Amino acid sequence: MQQKPTRLRRESGYWMRSFNAGRKENKRGKQKELHHISWRSAMSEKRLRELFSLTPKQKVRHWAGHDPWQGMRLDNKVQISMNAVLRDNDCHIIRMPLLMKPCFGQPTAYVRHGGSQPISHPRFGTVKSRCMRCLASDACERVAKARLSVTPDIKSAFVRFGQAGGSFGLKNPSVCPTAQREFDGLVSVIVSHGGFRSGNDTAALAELDSREVERKRREAENKRLARRKAIKRGYFTTEFLDLLEREREEREIQLVLASSWDGLPRNVGRIRNHSAQITADVWFVRECKRIRGEDVNPASIARALINKWPDIYPSSNFNSLRQRTKTDLARVDTLERFIVKGSSKPIWPRFDLAVALDELDLITPYTP
């Protein structure tokens, strides 16, 4: 088989189009919105993972902050009764229902943000705080209060903070000038104690791992379906063009091998290697046009050949190529229809897009 001319890879606008090209503006806007929601959810889960991974001492300091929930969107669907949380003598949580709220039972979070502390909203006025809206607030407060009296030092520091103005004093330093100092002292005492552990942290991290796996699986599946849909609409990916090229090469080789068989039609038998290459190229561009629903005729095929392989098919040879292409299209039809004696299949199999897409999923899957 003679050596073929070098094929330059040319992915022009005709052969490879963006997935988003040609879509309506409202669809693009909807996709951007869904992507933004997915991104925001992923960022929230990343933040949750960071907080559930903190050491007990780090948690004490974090939840003593002014806005410790920044960067998180917490589900408020789980209601926990006060008797559902099992603690040991040191107020470490041994067992409780899974709750994706790292603030649960944190004494510094309760002291600064818990209880009945409405907040001022710029649009809706006075509204319930996050802690007031929480369905697990009763159980959370019970655990937090128990932890605030677990040792005499912590209990005394908590009492002094309350006498200095408590959470009201933190918001109104001009009225309660010593509240911040006593609060810092309470935080320091709890940190010195070592903080508090919770078995919910391990369960929550495992749940986040499971969510991450599922999220990646959904993303991979969505990308796979988007690729299939895009290809069916004529927006070819690099992987699909590679698959078509392999199909083209197999047909070229098969035509060269079959050309010496007996009993072949005149337009197939004793074909030269160079003619086999051109016929396979014609098959390639014909399939691309069929998938895209474009007209298939000698002129359109000739233009596509020049566009795809300009080094092999110069534009100056358009007229002769157009005339040649008519013969090659007829040969392709013969190859896909003619069954050699002793065989049950035609020389060339018809290209099945559904089968090709299934093969593409196996070759280049979107893995989580």
Question: Which one has a higher pLDDT value, 63 or 367?
Answer: 63
The Cα–Cα gap between 330 and 332 comes to 5
Domain identity same for 274 and 186 = no
- What pLDDT does residue 115 have? 87
User: What percent of the chain lies above the pLDDT cut of 70?
Assistant: 88
Do the domain assignments include residue 219?
no
User: What does the pLDDT look like over 84-142, one tens digit per residue?
Assistant: 999 999 999 999 999 999 999 999 999 999 988 888 888 888 888 889 999 999 999 99
Last residue of a domain, one of 178, 212, 246: 212
Residues 54, 195 within the same domain: yes
Do residues 64 and 192 both lie within one domain?
Answer: yes
Are 350 and 246 contained in the same domain?
yes
For residue 16, what pLDDT band results from cuts at 50, 70 and 90? low
221: in domain:
no
The reply to whether 301 falls in a domain is yes
> Can you tell me the distance from the alpha carbon of 167 to that of 176, in angstroms, rounded to the nearest whole number?
10
At 18 the pLDDT is 39
Rounded Cα distance between 354 and 269, Å, is 31
Query: CA gyration radius for the chain?
Result: 35
H helix or E strand, kind and range, residue 87 = strand 86-87
Tokens of 164: 């200095």
298 and 341 inside one domain: yes
Q: Report pLDDT for 325.
A: 94
Taking the CA of residue 234 as centre, how many other CA atoms within 13 Å lie in the half-sphere pointing to its CB? Answer: 15
At 187, which amino acid appears?
Answer: V
Same domain, 36 and 175: yes
3-state secondary structure of 93: strand
Helix residue spans in the chain (DSSP H): 25-52, 56-62, 107-113, 130-133, 137-147, 152-163, 166-171, 179-193, 199-232, 238-258, 273-292, 298-308, 318-337, 353-363
Residue 204: inside a domain: yes
**What is the pLDDT, as a whole number, of residue 126?**
85
Asked if residue 203 and residue 99 are part of one domain, the reply reads: yes
Residue 218 within a domain:
no
Single-letter residue type at 11? E
The answer on 297 and 176 residing in a single domain is: no
| 200 plus 68 within the same structural domain | yes
Verify that 208 and 240 share a domain, yes or no. no
Q: Is 139 within 8 Å of 176 (Cβ atoms)? A: no
Number of domains composing the chain: 2
| Residue 224 included in any domain | no
Check residues 37 and 320 and name the one with the higher pLDDT.
320
**Same domain, residue pair 156 and 262:** no
Assess if residue 11 is contained within a domain: no
Residue 20 located in a structural domain: no
**Cα–Cα distance for residue pair 276/328, rounded to 1 Å:** 9
Evaluate if pTM is beyond 0.75. Answer: no
pLDDT for residue 12 is more than 90: no
Q: Residue 367: its pLDDT value, please?
A: 64
Higher pLDDT, 5 or 125: 125
Claim to verify: residue 88 and residue 193 sit in the same structural domain: yes
CA atoms within 13 A on the CB side of 78: 14
Average confidence (pLDDT) over 232-241:
90
Identify the pLDDT of residue 49: 94
| Angle ∠(347,233,321) on CA atoms, nearest 5 | 50
Please report which confidence band the pLDDT of residue 275 belongs to, taking 50, 70 and 90 as the band edges: very high
pLDDT of residue 309: 93
| Domain housing 258 | 236-363
Domain termination site, one of 180, 212, 244:
212
Is residue 42 predicted with pLDDT exceeding 90? no
Query: Is the model's pLDDT at 3 over the cut of 50?
Result: no
